[in-house]
Amino acid sequence: MPSPDSLAPDPHADVLVSPGYLAGPGDSRSIFNTLDLASSWTKTIAFGTDTYYTSPCQRVRVANPMESFYGGWTISYAEDPLGVPDWITTFDRNTPHEIVAAFTKPLVDGLRNNFADYLSGGRHYTGISPASLTARHRWDPVHGSRPFRTVSPDGHAAYQMGVGWLHEYDELLTPEKSTWRMSAGTDPVYTPSWQAFFSRYTPQHLITASTTAFTDPTPVPRALDQIPDRHRSLVAITREATARPNPRAAAALARSTQAQATHVPPSPAAPTALAGHAGSRRQR
């Protein structure tokens, strides 16, 4: 594994880091941009540091309180804007921004029709579940664990689901009691570097969107000094310049491939495998 020092003497140099769940929180501008550009949402800055957003229907509230216990982002939904939230999701301050952004984008896009496009029969419905994503990327289920969890192949990320009865207000008041949790770090279960919590009635398509980013093996961009020191020995780091193909080389390769195609007959297409996906959970 390349040493960061050998890759770039400049601590601010842009690099690509894999896996993304160990890359550090990174730049949160993509999250702010989604919310800032959301039509008719209101934005409030409190105490000079904390940012709050409210949807035009008043049902969704998003908070980015810098000095709170979790920091990061807390998102709540209440069918009755003046009532107890139906669900709450919390991303702590160290959660990679890609995971948060993956949640907020469909949240904003789908709220206008109460997520109908993402439910069965909707144009954005996929039928993909978080469990099918972890299975696709060969995460290992930990048999007999309570709560039930699956762990990434490198052992540094975990996705867990609570089992047994829990009063819904308990998880609304205490994120650690939430039905679903994502975490990563040298020991993602007991001493995680970051955690994200999803209460029971969080829409499945939103959890799935975050899980897609969480399990994606594609390297993510970071400045070298944004990678947590405790993760340096656990990640693969590549210069951005060397990771991106040279445009001229790519064009030459395309021409070469096209030329070869005129002389070499195409091989028969392999049969396509069809994967079954679990259906979505009932929305509240």
Q: Per-residue pLDDT tens for 190-234?
A: 999 999 999 999 999 999 999 999 999 999 999 999 999 999 999
Question: Residue 11's pLDDT is what?
Answer: 75
Q: Where are the alpha helices (DSSP H) in the chain?
A: 4-7, 29-36, 97-111, 130-136, 168-173, 204-215, 240-243, 247-261
Can you tell me the mean pLDDT for 6-34? 88
The 10s digit of each residue's pLDDT in 128-177 is 999 999 999 999 999 877 789 999 999 999 999 987 777 878 899 899 99
pLDDT tens-digit readout, 86-145: 999 999 999 999 999 999 999 999 999 999 999 888 998 999 999 999 999 999 999 877
| Spacing of C-alpha 101 from chain mean position | 7
267-279 in b/e form (b: 16+ CB < 10 A) is: eeeeeeeeeeeee
State the average pLDDT over residues 8-14. 73
Q: Are strands 140-142 and 87-91 parallel, antiparallel or unpaired?
A: unpaired
Say which range, 25-34, 81-90, 233-242, 269-278, has the weakest mean pLDDT.
269-278
User: What pLDDT is attached to residue 272?
Assistant: 31
- Residue 73: phi and psi, rounded to 5, are -130, 130
- Distance between CA atoms of 264 and 138, rounded to whole angstroms? 36
Amino acid at 106: P
**The pLDDT of residue 266 is above 60:** no
Give whole-number Cα distances, 107 to 84, 125, 129, 153, 213, in Å: 19, 14, 17, 30, 15
Q: How confident is the model at residue 255 (pLDDT cuts 50, 70, 90)?
A: very low
CA–CA dist 83, 77 (Å, integer): 10
Give me the mean pLDDT over the 186-192 stretch: 96
Q: For residues 22 and 194, what is the distance between their CA atoms, to the nearest angstrom?
A: 9
Structure confidence at residue 242 (pLDDT): 55
Contact present, 188 and 153 (Cβ < 8 Å): no
243 has a pLDDT exceeding 80: no
- Coil, helix or strand at residue 193: coil
Q: What angle do CA 90, 93, 94 make, to 5 degrees?
A: 110
Mean pLDDT for all residues in the chain: 84
Percent residues over pLDDT 70 in the chain: 81
Query: Shortest CA distance to 7 belongs to which of 266, 241, 270, 244?
Result: 241
| pLDDT score at 249 | 37
Predicted structure pTM score: 0.80
Residue 251 predicted with pLDDT over 50? no
More confidently predicted of 242 and 130: 130
pLDDT score for 87: 96
Residues β-bridged to residue 50 = 46
Q: Of the candidates 239, 242, 241, 243, which has an alpha carbon nearest to the alpha carbon of residue 224?
A: 239
Alpha-carbon distance of 72 to 192, in angstroms, equals 15
Structure tokens at 128: 């993909």
Residue 2 banded pLDDT, cuts 50, 70, 90: low
Question: HEC profile for 52-101?
Answer: EEECCCCCEEEEECCCCCCCCEEEEECCCCCCCCCEEEEECCCCCHHHHH
